[in-house]
Amino acid sequence: MVLIRSGLLITILLGCMSMAAAKAKHPYDKYDHEMHNSFFESAEVSCEMCHADPDSYGNRKKVNRLGCHRCHNDPAPILPANPDCMLCHEAGIPKPQNHKTRWIAKHGSISKQAPETCKQCHPSTMFCMDCHKRRDTVQERMHTRNFRFYHSVEARANPRKCDSCHRVSFCQDCHAGKETSGR
Amino acid sequence: MLLKYFLFFMFMLLASASPLCASEFEAHSTVLGQSRESSGSQHVLPFNGYVGFSGKHEKWEGTTDMRFFRDFPRKEQDYDLYQALVRFRPLELLSMDIGRQFVALESSAETIDGVRMTLFPQEHLALDVYSGMPRSVEIGDFNEDDGLLTGMSLGLIKTKRTRARIFSSWRKNKFRLNDFPHNDEIFVGGNLSYQFPIKMMPLLYGVMEYNAAAKNIDTATAGFDLYPHRRISVNAEFSFADENSEADKKTVFSLFSQDAAYFASTAVTFELIPDYVDISPRYSFSRLKPSAEGWSNGHQLNVAVPVSFADLGLHLTPSYYFLQSWGGNVHGARLDVRETWQKWFGETSFDFSTHRKVTNDHDRSWSLIGWVGYTLLKEWELAAGMEYNRNNHFNNDVRASFRMSYNFGMKT
């Protein structure tokens, strides 16, 4: 109880320090084309890198979306420039391309190759543990409520998946009536 | 037990002192509570309190996350320590992580109590060496039978198209038992991916893990991503798994498979109406041998159609799912809705599924969940929820929940 109280106290103290919200902008709204033209000239960047589509001079939607990343977010930039993601992504960093399909099933393989790349957008490993390790029955998270009633079917279709997070004793305890997941 | 409290107090101390000296400090806490009936029809009030801190000062960084559980009517309490980690980076080339930490560098994603050292011998290389006792909150803390996991992994970093890593690890399942190889797993493996700099940006990836103690291939996976059009992404993956059947360690896989198993999956995401409507079907097939009697196939299908009206703050995701294995089959339909309006947000989900199981249970489940929340200040959020869950065989429950969360400088 002492622990909970001291935790709460610290939390309340911190509550006094708050920050104001800022309005988010599209990256292009922060773009100073004139200033950049001088960089493009010195680094011999052609206009076509971003304006491959002739309509793009009048319509920002047709500009190469990832042109900015060539200098601002690239392991081998044409010209090194400010790599702070928040410089352009005030509203939050968008989902990367690899997240679009079957990400939940394949992120294990991808993260094992390059674990440091995840930190860029998921700086806290609690993000991972939220699904992998956190015990909580109050909120739906890793499994839906209905899952409890059909987990036997999924376990028999893909038992390997369960091993990513569960030990057999977890299954056995509950089947034996010692429900440890009541919390 | 003692060690657990020692670790905990160390980190509370560190955490409470850190706002004063740390150059960067983050904290978050959440309290979640629920009123419901337990499976024994008893009224229960579980509370989960989460606290996390992290602070950085020069070469030092500390992070901790924990959970307190209390159920008042049952007078039960519990405590989980998810991470308690000090990172020390004495040199640009070396970083050390000491304490309870989540590692996902080889065959599994584990929490270990131990040490991890990362060396950067060269701009594009990272060498990781780690050793510790794997921990599982599911079976309680500090069980001496948790074994020991020691590993090494060498990977490419900051590269553009190629990702590669080779690793080896040695796992003793019981800490003291000397019963090689039943008690031991020695993995060697590699992981490789390459994104071709051509039109459809194909990305090929593969993983291979060999168990040298049992002399069998534990996992082999190969897959690709493809972007044939700005609005279409495709993934396909094939995978093979075989575990050492002699091992003492029981896994869910070893309970349901007497031989190797084969998996194939594919998924596509189409942006039907850019920025508004996507459709993403996903299918996987599995083939395994549950008993000496023969092989059996599994199928899993999921089709989701996320719709978003970003200007209105409205996101809707209807989906259909289907599962089939020798354990039975499941058809389900689900709708998730999220609306954010100024400082308010609301979330609801409706889920309906029917199941036909080999045990001759033909049951149906419904679940309706709703949450409404309000952001007081930028970091304070209050929310209240209601749930109605029903299964025509097993349960029927109504729950009321609340959540209060607080975030100081934390990015997720």
Buried b (16+ CB within 10 A) or exposed e, B169-199: bbbbbbeeeeeebbbbbbbbbbbbbebeeee
Classify residue A123: in a domain, yes or no: yes
Are A124 and B139 an interchain contact pair (Cβ–Cβ within 8 Å)? no
Q: B315 touching A, CB under 8 A?
A: no
The answer to whether the CB atoms of A15 and B380 lie below 8 A apart is: yes
Q: What is the pLDDT of residues A1-37, one digit of tens each?
A: 444 444 444 443 343 333 323 345 789 998 999 999 9
**ipTM field:** 0.89
How far apart are the C-alpha atoms of A6 and B45, rounded to whole Å?
22
Question: What is the distance between the alpha carbons of residues B61 and B26, in angstroms, rounded to a whole number?
Answer: 11
For residue A37, being part of any structural domain is answered with yes
d(CA B399, CA B412): 28
Å between A50 CA and nearest CA of chain B: 16
Domain that holds residue A55: 29-87
Residue A101 falls within a domain, yes or no?
no
pTM of the model: 0.91
Q: Which residues of B touch A97 (CB under 8 A)?
A: 201, 225, 227, 233
Would you write out chain B's pLDDT as a tens digit for each of its 412 residues?
A: 455 555 555 555 555 555 545 567 888 899 999 999 876 678 889 999 999 988 888 889 999 999 988 888 888 888 888 999 999 999 989 999 999 999 887 767 889 999 999 999 998 999 999 999 988 877 655 555 678 899 999 999 888 889 999 999 998 887 766 777 678 889 999 999 999 988 888 999 999 999 998 889 999 999 999 999 889 999 999 999 998 777 777 899 999 999 999 999 999 999 999 889 999 999 999 999 998 888 999 999 999 999 999 889 999 999 999 999 999 999 999 999 999 998 999 999 999 999 999 988 899 999 999 999 999 877 789 999 999 999 998 888 999 999 999 887 654 4
pLDDT attached to residue B332: 98
Q: Which amino acid is at B79?
A: Y
Closest Cβ–Cβ partner in B105, B227, B401 for A115: B105
**For residue A49, is it within any domain?**
yes
Q: Which residues does chain B have within 8 Å of residue A146's beta carbon, measured at their own beta carbons?
A: 332, 351-353, 365-367, 389, 391
Q: Which of B38, B253, B391 sits opposite A149 (nearest CB)?
A: B391
What are the chain A neighbours of B330 within 8 Å (beta carbons)? 150, 153-154
Give residue B397's Cα distance to chain centre.
27
B18 reaches A (C-beta below 8 A) = no
End-to-end CA distance of chain A: 18
Q: Phi first, then psi: what are they for A19, rounded to 5°?
A: -120, 160
- A75 & A120 share domain: no
Interchain CB contact of A86 with B (< 8 Å): no
Taking CB atoms and an 8 Å limit, are A155 and B12 in contact across chains? Answer: no
Question: Do A71 and A112 belong together in one domain?
Answer: no
Q: How far apart are CA A4 and CA B29, in angstroms?
A: 11
* B118/A116 Cα distance (integer angstroms): 11
* A77 and A119 both lie in a single domain: no
Cis bond upstream, residue B181 (ω within 30): yes
The answer to the question of residue A50 being in a domain is yes
* Buried b / exposed e along A139-164 (16+ C-beta atoms within 10 A): bbeeebbbbbbbebbbbbbbbbbbbe
Is the residue at A58 inside a domain? Answer: yes
Tell whether A99 is covered by a domain: no
Structure tokens at A180: 């440890």
Q: Which residue of A has its CA nearest to B381?
A: A15
Q: Which residues, 6+ apart, have CB-to-CB distance to A141 below 8 Å?
A: A130, A131, A134
Cα angle A80, A125, B69 (rounded to 5 degrees) comes to 155
Chain B 153-212, CB below 8 Å of chain A: which residues? 155-160, 163-165, 191-193, 201, 203, 205, 207
Q: Which residue has the tokens 């991503």?
A: B225
> Are A112 and A168 contained in the same domain?
yes
Say if the Cβ atoms of A6 and B299 lie within 8 Å: no
Report the alpha-carbon distance of residue B184 to residue B195 in Å, rounded: 36
Q: How far is A137 from chain B (nearest CA, A)?
A: 9
Query: B282 and A74 in contact by Cβ < 8 A?
Result: no
* Domain count for chain A: 2
Q: How remote is the C-alpha of A57 from its chain's centroid?
A: 32
Host H or E run for residue B377: none
User: Chain A contacts of B163, Cβ < 8 Å?
Assistant: 113-114
Instruction: Tell me, yes or no, whether A158 lies in a domain.
Output: yes
- Domain ranges in chain B are 1-74
A82 in reach of chain B (CB within 8 A): no
> What is the distance between the alpha carbons of residues A123 and A143, in angstroms, rounded to a whole number?
24
- Whether A112 sits inside 8 A of B349 (CB atoms) is no
